[in-house]
């Protein structure tokens, strides 16, 4: 029942609820996706002091941009990413990628599910790597190597963030994997098993009230990663539910851990 409800929610379009809460650090642009022959809206967070410095910054790519910065575009409350980073005074650029509404399941799932379809994460990640990242690196002062290129998301976004490390290990060195939909296909575990070494920093997070299987699935993945040389931080939040509140309240610790990780 839990999974059916979540998948129905994932298919719903975002609806405006209230006035914009995005801070002055937020801007946006549209970019063509030649692989999927479409256009994507991209949200950009620039750290405080960016305009008055010549520094280069690490970059965090995040999925579901509608939910990250602005309550007026969020489905069930935003993550407060901009306010959090402002308060922490972290030197990081965040690139938020809007999901494709009815295409979200396709974009964020590496392998198809018998009931829900999907399995088109490869072209989505190719767009990030081949089109979006070069544009970001050209137009913003970025640190371009893998140890300064992070990716983060929740639910299906957590799943695809983890998959990005496996498919593009020379691009992404760090990932925030919140409440990943590991149930969508067991092939993600099979791919992990086949991968000889995963030289990455990974922040795993789940709430113990999300579903009856998620904690066990996350612990299974955690154990596999330890055997693959990954550096992993795994957090299980007591009474945590599958929602924006859990991810919003966990974001600050996760991004600080990822930025300080040295692997």
pLDDT at 101: 87
pLDDT at 4: 41
pLDDT at 154: 98
pLDDT at 36: 79
Per-residue pLDDT of the chain (263 residues; tens, 9 = 90+): 345 444 434 444 444 446 888 888 999 999 998 877 789 999 999 999 999 999 999 999 999 999 999 988 887 789 999 999 999 999 999 999 999 888 999 999 999 999 999 999 999 999 999 999 999 999 999 999 999 999 999 999 999 999 999 999 999 999 999 999 999 999 999 999 999 999 999 999 999 999 989 999 999 999 999 989 899 999 999 999 999 999 999 999 999 999 999 86
The overall longest dimension of the chain from CA atoms, in Å, is 52
pLDDT at 11: 44
pLDDT at 263: 65
Reference 145, options 174, 104, 121; nearest CA is 174
Instruction: Give the chain as a 3 state SS string.
Output: CHHHHHHHHHHCCCCCCCCCCCCCCEEEEEEEECCCCEEEEEEEECCCCHHHCCCCECEEEEECHHHCCCCCCCCCCCCCHHHHHHHHCCCCEEEEECCCHHHHHHHCCCCCECCCECCCHHHHHHHHHHHHHHHHHHHCCECCCHHHEEEEEECHHHHHHHHHHHHCCCCCCEEEEECCCHHHCCHHHHHHHHCCCCCCEEEEEEECCCCCCHHHHHHHHHHHHHCCCCEEEEEEECCCCCCHHHHHHHHHHHHHHHHHCCC
Q: For tokens 């299987």, what's the residue? A: 213
Is the CB of residue 90 less than 8 Å from the CB of residue 97? no
Give residues with Cβ within 8 angstroms of 29, minimum separation 6: 41, 42, 44
pLDDT at 262: 82
Is the CB of residue 242 less than 8 Å from the CB of residue 207? yes
């Amino acid at each position: 029942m839990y999974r059916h409800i979540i998948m129905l929610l994932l298919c719903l379009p975002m609806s405006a609820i209230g006035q914009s809460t995005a801070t002055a650090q937020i801007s946006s642009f549209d970019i063509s996706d030649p692989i999927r022959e479409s256009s994507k809206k991209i949200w950009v967070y620039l750290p405080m002091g960016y305009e008055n410095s010549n520094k280069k910054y690490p970059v965090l790519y995040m999925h579901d941009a509608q939910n990250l910065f602005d309550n007026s575009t969020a489905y069930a409350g935003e993550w407060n990413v901009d306010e959090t980073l402002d308060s922490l005074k972290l030197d990081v650029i965040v690139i938020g990628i809007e999901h494709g509404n009815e295409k979200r399941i396709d974009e964020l799932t590496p392998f198809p599910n018998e009931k829900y379809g999907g399995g088109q994460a490869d072209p989505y990640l190719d767009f990030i790597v081949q089109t979006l990242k070069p544009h970001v690196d050209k137009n913003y002062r970025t640190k371009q190597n893998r140890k300064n290129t992070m990716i983060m998301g929740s639910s299906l976004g957590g799943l695809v963030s983890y998959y990005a490390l496996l498919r593009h290990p020379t691009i992404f060195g760090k990932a925030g994997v919140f409440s990943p939909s590991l149930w969508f296909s067991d092939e993600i575990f099979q791919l992990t098993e086949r991968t000889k070494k995963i030289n990455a920093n990974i922040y795993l997070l789940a709430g113990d009230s999300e579903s009856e299987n998620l904690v066990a699935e996350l612990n299974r993945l955690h154990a596999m990663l330890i055997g693959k040389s990954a550096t992993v931080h795994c957090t299980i939040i007591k009474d945590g539910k599958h929602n924006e509140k859990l991810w919003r309240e966990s974001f600050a610790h996760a991004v600080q851990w990822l930025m300080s990780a040295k692997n």
